[in-house]
């Protein structure tokens, strides 16, 4: 028996759907967002305007960094204790939404040490606040998943935790918000979504429901991501925005694999973009996992569905078309640190979702794999 949960109460889609915040019926809103992007494109101002029309008070907790550390959540929870919200909105990319989700959860459990609970098991209920997530990028799908990721700087690793209480009550997918997304962000987040979909489709927990969503996301991302990145048109951005959410509904139930384990290890150590790390490693992951006959059949199915013979090569070609480099060295992993800390990177890359990889990964496998990805050597 298996229970599937694809989202909270609702997913609201459509151009201009941001205005739905007027109908939330909330009084005190704690709005969590990143740096300048959601201010510069006017979205924060719009949300504040919609809510103030209803008489709601709004506190904006901004400046959430990429790869947020534990301290950011602690600061947010302290601010929530002062403000006493009845609703939390996570707005922006995955870091802002994940942080908002964790703030909303730990606001209800002041007796818990966040670091300990994060590593040993999160609470499974959230009742005090309504949680809304509004993605401003098209990749993480945090607006529908039971996951959140934090960077533990002392350990040089990102760790993901899971709880049904982290699933937002409402997801608002307004593609107009994504029009201000720079091309490189659209590329990196888009391949992050593709990684979710492909790893989910070849995770051995996949089922008919999650497999259908994942395969559909793969097809739409290959079809529309190049135009979304290179042209930035609303039609393509809308298709990609919805496809990444489909991938989230899928992997939120079935999981991912070694690409995410590696991205968490390298992102935690070198503070590099999660989607960018996933993108560079993805062709290599497909090659490696093709050792498993079941996974190979699944890759071949996806290849046929998008009209190519070799899925790994198709991902490599897509990366090239949208400006993704071909090696970890090219995206800023320092050679000296890579070699000096190699065994730690290997050890950390074997943790997390790598344990759910369809092809078992030994330490020696990982040594060879990371060397190839660092150098950009894709095996035949």
3-state secondary structure 137-177: CCCCCCCCCCEEEEEECCCCEEEEEECHHHCCCEEEECHHH
Distance of CA 101 to the CA centre of its chain: 13
Tell me the whole-structure pTM to 2 decimals.
0.96
Residue keyed to tokens 């960077």: 151
Residue of 134, 224, 130, 150 lying closest to 186 (CA atoms): 224
Assigned token pair, 121 = 């098991």
Cα separation, 227 vs 217, in Å, equals: 16
3-state secondary structure of 53: helix
In eight-state DSSP terms, residue 353 is G
**Total residues belonging to the chain:** 380
3-state secondary structure of 134: strand
Cα separation, 76 vs 107, in Å, equals: 9
Burial class (CB in 10 A: 0-12, 13-18, 19+), 160: middle
Phi-psi region of 97 (alpha: psi -120 to 50; beta: other; left: phi over 0): alpha
Residue of 277, 253, 262, 245 lying closest to 345 (CA atoms): 262
Residue of 100, 60, 192 lying closest to 138 (CA atoms): 192
Please give the pLDDT value at position 159: 87
List the chain pLDDT tens, one digit each, 380 residues: 889 999 999 999 999 999 999 999 999 999 999 989 999 999 999 999 999 999 999 999 999 999 999 999 999 999 999 999 999 999 999 999 999 999 999 999 999 999 999 888 999 999 999 999 999 999 999 999 999 999 988 888 888 899 999 999 999 999 999 999 999 999 999 999 999 999 999 999 999 999 999 999 999 999 999 999 999 999 999 999 999 999 999 999 999 999 999 999 999 999 999 999 999 999 999 999 999 999 999 999 999 999 999 999 999 999 999 999 999 999 999 999 999 999 999 999 999 999 999 999 999 999 999 999 999 999 87
Q: Given the DSSP bridges, would you call strands 170-173 and 87-92 parallel, antiparallel or unpaired? A: unpaired
Q: What are the φ/ψ torsions at residue 170 (nearest 5 degrees)? A: -140, 135
Please give the pLDDT value at position 11: 98
Q: Please, are residues 280 and 193 in contact by the beta-carbon 8 Å criterion?
A: no
- Which residues is 133 bridged to in the sheet? 90, 171
Cα separation, 31 vs 123, in Å, equals: 22
3-state secondary structure of 32: strand
3-state secondary structure of 360: coil
Q: Please, are residues 315 and 284 in contact by the beta-carbon 8 Å criterion?
A: no
Cα angle 99, 101, 102; round to 5: 65
Domains of the chain and CATH, by start? 10-177 (3.40.50.1970), 182-375 (1.20.1090.10)
Please give the pLDDT value at position 289: 98
Assigned token pair, 338 = 């890579």
> In terms of DSSP H, where are the helices of 231-327?
234-254, 258-270, 274-289, 293-306, 311-321
198: enclosing H helix or E strand: helix 183-201
């Amino acid at each position: 028996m298996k229970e599937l949960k694809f989202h909270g109460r609702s997913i609201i889609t459509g151009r201009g759907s941001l205005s739905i915040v007027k109908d939330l019926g909330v009084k005190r809103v704690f709005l969590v967002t990143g740096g300048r992007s959601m201010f510069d494109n006017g979205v924060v101002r719009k949300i504040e305007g919609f809510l103030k029309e209803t008489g709601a008070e709004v506190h904006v907790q901004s400046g959430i960094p990429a790869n947020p550390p534990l301290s950011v959540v602690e600061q947010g929870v302290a601010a929530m204790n002062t403000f006493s919200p009845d609703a939390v909105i996570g707005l922006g990319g995955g870091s802002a939404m994940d942080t908002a989700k964790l703030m909303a959860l730990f606001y209800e459990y002041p007796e818990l040490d966040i670091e300990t609970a994060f590593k040993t098991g999160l609470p499974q209920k959230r009742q005090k606040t309504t949680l809304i997530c509004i993605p401003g990028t098209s990749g993480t799908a945090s607006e529908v998943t039971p996951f959140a990721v934090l960077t533990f700087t002392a350990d040089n690793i990102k760790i993901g935790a899971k709880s049904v209480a982290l699933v937002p009550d409402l997801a608002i997918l307004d593609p107009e918000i994504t029009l201000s997304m720079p091309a490189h962000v659209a590329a990196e987040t888009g391949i992050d979504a593709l990684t979710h979909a492909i790893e989910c489709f070849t995770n051995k927990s996949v089922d008919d429901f999650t497999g259908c969503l994942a395969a559909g996301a793969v097809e739409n991302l290959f079809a529309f991501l190049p135009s979304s990145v290179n042209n930035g048109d609303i039609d393509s951005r809308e298709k990609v925005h919805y496809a990444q959410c489909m991938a989230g509904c899928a992997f939120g139930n079935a999981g991912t694999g070694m690409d995410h384990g590696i991205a968490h290890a390298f992102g935690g150590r070198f503070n590099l973009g999660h989607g960018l790390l996933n993108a560079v490693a993805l062709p290599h992951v497909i090659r490696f996992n093709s050792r498993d006959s079941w996974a190979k059949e699944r890759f071949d199915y996806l290849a046929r569905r998008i009209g190519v013979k070799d899925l790994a090569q198709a991902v490599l070609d897509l990366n090239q078309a949208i400006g993704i480099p071909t090696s970890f060295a090219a995206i800023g992993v320092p050679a000296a640190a890579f070699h000096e800390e190699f065994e730690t990177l290997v050890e950390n890359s074997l943790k997390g979702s790598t344990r759910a990889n369809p092809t078992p990964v030994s330490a020696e496998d990982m040594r060879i794999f990371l060397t190839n990805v660092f150098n950009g050597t894709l095996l035949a």
